[in-house]
């Protein structure tokens, strides 16, 4: 059976715009497809392992065809367990606020932990990378409080959506739908944009489980 995994990169709880839109998305999924299992993964809940020196040593050992040892082996086991938690789903919902023009570091940490050879990607010296997470679908909710594509460089730049979507495609996930809520909260009334974002979330959710 299919499974939907919601990966939340916002630490703001009930004050989070991205999580509010995600709730609309998930409520719609439950209405349209009540039998679909949904798992929530709050990336801030303390279960995401670090990717430090032992994990880096493990990755390079695997690249060299060796077996990680000691601390590196434990770090590798933690990375594999996190990958399996993500890979157990075939549909993903990411809720992603913009931080400093990019994604929150906790989401980058998840990507660094699970992006391992033989798990997320394969590599051939002649053909390069091949994504191994094929046959999956992703929906991404992007929010930003100041940046907007029509606002010019003084209001920031977007390294958020291009980064995450490039990673998804690199990993083999090329069926991607997006919802953007990017009001200029310093000067504009956000209500109309918020309403449109929630409407799009409902529309995307209906297609997502079709």
pLDDT of the residue at 86? 98
Q: Which CATH number goes with the domain that contains 80?
A: 3.40.50.360
Percent of the chain with pLDDT over 90: 85
For residues 62 and 201, the model is more confident at 201
The total number of structural domains in the chain stands at: 1
pLDDT of the residue at 190? 86
Find the mean pLDDT for residues 198-205.
98
Q: Tell me: the pLDDT tens digits for 67-113?
A: 999 999 999 999 999 999 999 999 999 999 999 999 999 999 999 99
Cα–Cα dist 94/119, whole Å: 20
pTM: 0.94
**Structural domain that includes position 172:** 4-208
Cα–Cα dist 169/199, whole Å: 26
Q: Tell me: the pLDDT tens digits for 162-183?
A: 999 999 999 999 999 999 999 8
pLDDT of the residue at 16? 95
pLDDT of the residue at 187? 62
Cβ-in-10-Å burial (0-12, 13-18, 19+) of 188 comes to: exposed
């Amino acid at each position: 059976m299919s499974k939907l995994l919601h990966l939340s990169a916002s630490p703001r709880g009930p004050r989070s715009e991205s999580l509010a839109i995600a709730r609309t998305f998930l409520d719609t999924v439950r209405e349209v497809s009540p039998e679909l299992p949904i798992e929530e993964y709050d990336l801030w809940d303390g279960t995401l392992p670090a990717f430090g020196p032992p994990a880096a040593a493990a990755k390079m050992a695997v690249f060299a065809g060796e077996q990680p040892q000691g601390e590196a082996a434990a770090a590798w086991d933690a990375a594999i367990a996190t990958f399996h938690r993500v890979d157990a789903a075939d549909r993903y919902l990411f809720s992603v606020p913009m931080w400093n023009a990019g994604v929150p570091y906790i989401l980058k940490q998840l990507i660094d932990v699970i992006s391992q050879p033989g798990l997320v990607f394969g590599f051939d010296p002649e053909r390069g990378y091949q994504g191994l997470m094929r046959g999956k679908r992703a929906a991404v909710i992007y929010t930003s409080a100041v940046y907007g594509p029509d606002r010019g460089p003084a209001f920031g730049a977007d390294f958020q959506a291009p980064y995450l979507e490039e990673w998804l495609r690199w990993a083999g996930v090329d069926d991607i739908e997006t919802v953007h809520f990017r009001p200029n909260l310093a000067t504009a009334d956000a209500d109309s944009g918020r309403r449109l974002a929630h409407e799009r979330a409902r529309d995307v959710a209906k297609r997502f489980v079709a």
